Amino acid sequence: MSLESAATTAAPVARPNAPPKMQGDKVGVFYGEKQALFDVDLKIEQFNVTSLIGPSGCGKSTFLRSLNRMNDTIDGCRVVGKITLDKDDIYDPSIDVVELRARVGMVFQKPNPFPKSIYENVAYGPKIHGIARNKADLDEIVHSSLRRAGLWNEVKDRLNEPGTGLSGGQQQRLCIARAIATKPEVLLMDEPCSALDPIATAVIEELIDELRENFTIVIVTHSMQQAARVSQKTAFFHLGKLIEEGKTEDIFTNPRNKQTQDYITGRIG
């Protein structure tokens, strides 16, 4: 598939000496008394796609959700260690979670458009953050976001129809358009294709590869093929611990760790 080759042959764009966009330092997450994540050290490079893989319950989604503090919404959830965004500690009391989430956007596993019009869906973020100065500005943001999410041609004539009336794949692209409309710096994707058919999945994967030019992307996926196709860096989690991380081709062709090898060859998980 051209898609696959395009992704895997593309050299990582990261400037070798650029500081990481986000960095986790001994990150641990507790749900009540139970620790779900242990001492994760992970660098997220700018303008790269970092994929988090591992069996169910390994803590990869937990780690992803701690990157924009979505874990805060869960009662009894506690994060220890340090996560930085451009060297700022995002758990510092001076950080406003609203601003953080405007800078670190998120796309969820199940497409979750608002039960409002397609236009309203995309325009909501820019509206609440005051990104658009006037209606023309807002129109421009909505149109360009839909275009970049590859949805424009399919919805340009029905922007006022409900977003919930779209197909699953279209809904997920609408959610991506909604996420990028607030112009985040980092985009978190939590298994964005798990509810989609292979064709819609291929479209989204292509989209992720294009979005990499402007956004730093972290994606959680259950599909190792997908991780291999879209990401430049891969991190393997198991039982709440980060087992191995590195360049995607290294992880998949030459894993250093026995557990990683077992997982990618299908022996555990």
Partner 1 sequence: MTDAALPHAAVDTAAPAKRDFGLKRRHAAEFRFRLYGIVAIVIGLGFLAILLVSIVSKGYTAFVQTSITVPVEFSASIIDKDNERATNPRVLVSANYPIVARNAVAKALGVSIDDKAAMRDIAKFVSDGSRSTLREIVLADPSVIGTTRNVTLLAAADIDSANKGQIDLTVPQDKRKVSDQQVAWLDQLKQQGAISTPFNWGLLTFGASSRPETAGLGVALVGSLYMMAIVLLCALPIGVAASIYLEEFAKKNRFTDFIEVNINNLAAVPSIVYGLLGLAVFINFFGMPRSAPIVGGLVLTLMTLPTIIIATRAALRAVPPSIRSAALGIGASRMQMVFDHVLPLATPGILTGTIIGLARALGETAPLLLIGMVAFVADRPTSPLDPATALPVQIYMWANEAERAFVERTQGAVLVLLIFLALMNIAAILLRRRFERRW
Residues lying near partner 1 in the complex (CB under 8 A) are found at 68, 70, 73, 75, 98-102, 105-108, 110, 112-116, 124-125, 128-129, 162, 164-165, 175, 178-179, 181-182
Give the CA distances from residue 269 to residues 34, 100, 175, 224, 255, in Å, rounded to whole numbers and listed in that order.
21, 33, 29, 12, 16
Q: Considering the complex, what minimum distance in angstroms separates the CB of residue 68 from partner 1?
A: 7
Q: Considering the complex, what minimum distance in angstroms separates the CB of residue 12 from partner 1?
A: 27
Q: Closest CB to partner 1 among 38 and 124?
A: 124
Burial class (CB in 10 A: 0-12, 13-18, 19+), 246: middle
Q: Considering the complex, what minimum distance in angstroms separates the CB of residue 163 from partner 1?
A: 9
Q: Considering the complex, what minimum distance in angstroms separates the CB of residue 79 from partner 1?
A: 16
Burial class (CB in 10 A: 0-12, 13-18, 19+), 182: buried
Q: Closest CB to partner 1 among 73 and 134?
A: 73
Q: Closest CB to partner 1 among 31 and 108?
A: 108
Q: Closest CB to partner 1 among 100 and 227?
A: 100
Q: Closest CB to partner 1 among 149 and 224?
A: 149
Q: Closest CB to partner 1 among 127 and 241?
A: 127
Q: Closest CB to partner 1 among 148 and 238?
A: 148
Strand pairing report for 34-44 and 216-220: unpaired
In the chain, the amino acid numbered 135 is K
Give the span between the Cα atoms of 183 and 127, in whole angstroms: 12
Q: Considering the complex, what minimum distance in angstroms separates the CB of residue 78 from partner 1?
A: 13
Q: Considering the complex, what minimum distance in angstroms separates the CB of residue 181 from partner 1?
A: 8
Q: Considering the complex, what minimum distance in angstroms separates the CB of residue 224 from partner 1?
A: 26
Q: Considering the complex, what minimum distance in angstroms separates the CB of residue 148 from partner 1?
A: 16
Q: Are 186 and 22 in contact (CB under 8 A)?
A: yes
Q: Are 23 and 44 in contact (CB under 8 A)?
A: yes
Give the span between the Cα atoms of 180 and 145, in whole angstroms: 6
Q: Closest CB to partner 1 among 82 and 183?
A: 183
State the CB neighbour count (10 A cutoff) for residue 8.
15
